[in-house]
Amino acid sequence: MTNARREYSEAETVALLSQVGGRCPLCDKPLFYKKGKRQFKAYELAHIYPLNPRPEELVVLANVPRLSTDVNDPDNLIPLCESSHAEFDKPRTEAEYLRLHNIKREALREERQRSLASQYPLENQISDVVALLHSASIESDLGVELALTAKSLDEKFDTTMPPPTKRKVRNAVGDYFRYIQAAFLELERNDPGCTELIFIQVKSFYVMQKREGLPQGHVFANLVAWIHARTQAQTLESAEAVASFFIQNCEVFE
């Protein structure tokens, strides 16, 4: 018995196109073209695991992971330009299948992260902390001594934290930890309980990341993206500095 191809709603199609940013994930060609004043589609919705696998495909793909047992589920579909779709299908190899499977899996992970981040609030006052970093001079003296009593960063990192990210976190903690801690102290003086609420929110967001089973490098990147979006930080580096503060301060990677 053969599987019939499903019709997909406009909303499902828009969601699929959004997952790949409107470009073919295999060759980076745009999935639309303009002629005159009109836009035209230049894509096809490709089944990652074939809709009706040929006998040889059943053998080749016998042990591959699948994103859905339902071949018509949107999780098993991805928009491709027409030429990439034809090349992918004829013939479909295990290596090409795994490449597209991994691209789709990452797109779904990023989509879940965007949805997750939208569900977690962050107090507006943290924007003041981030804004401080745009004018902070790491050579100046704050006139306060703030000891680092938390576990060392090396104790918190595991093998899933990439070495370049480790260095980035260490440098941010060394340069900005005292500034950020002083800013939180000032917030607390002006609005008692505010910093505790922010720390709880960050911890809660981290725990949800941990429950997803994500590697530390992904958790850090997701935390940075969340802080960057919620505070409307002028630079990504300032969000990275604040995320690094929370690693040293034990809200993240306890």
96 DSSP 8-state letter: H
Instruction: Tell which residue, 113, 88, 87, has the closest CA to residue 101.
Output: 88
Q: Tens place of pLDDT for every residue, the chain, 254 residues?
A: 688 999 999 999 999 999 999 999 999 999 999 988 899 999 999 999 999 999 999 999 999 999 999 999 999 999 999 999 999 988 889 999 999 999 999 999 889 888 888 888 888 888 888 877 766 555 444 444 444 444 588 889 999 999 999 999 999 998 889 889 888 998 889 989 989 999 999 999 999 988 888 899 999 999 999 999 888 888 889 999 999 999 998 888 87
pLDDT on residue 50: 94
pLDDT on residue 150: 44
pLDDT on residue 203: 93
CB 238 within 8 Å of CB 138: no
pLDDT on residue 212: 87
Residues contacting 240, CB < 8 A, separation 6+: 168, 169, 172, 224
List Cα–Cα distances, 75 to 79, 107, 137, 162, in angstroms.
Answer: 11, 10, 48, 29
Amino acid at 222: N
pTM here?
0.73
pLDDT on residue 220: 95
Taking phi over 0 as left and psi of -120 to 50 as alpha, with beta for the rest, 179 belongs to alpha
Q: Greatest CA span in the chain, whole angstroms?
A: 77
pLDDT on residue 100: 96
pLDDT on residue 137: 56
Q: What is the spatial distance between Cα 231 and Cα 228, in angstroms, rounded to a whole number?
A: 6
pLDDT on residue 136: 59
Q: What is the spatial distance between Cα 89 and Cα 251, in angstroms, rounded to a whole number?
A: 47
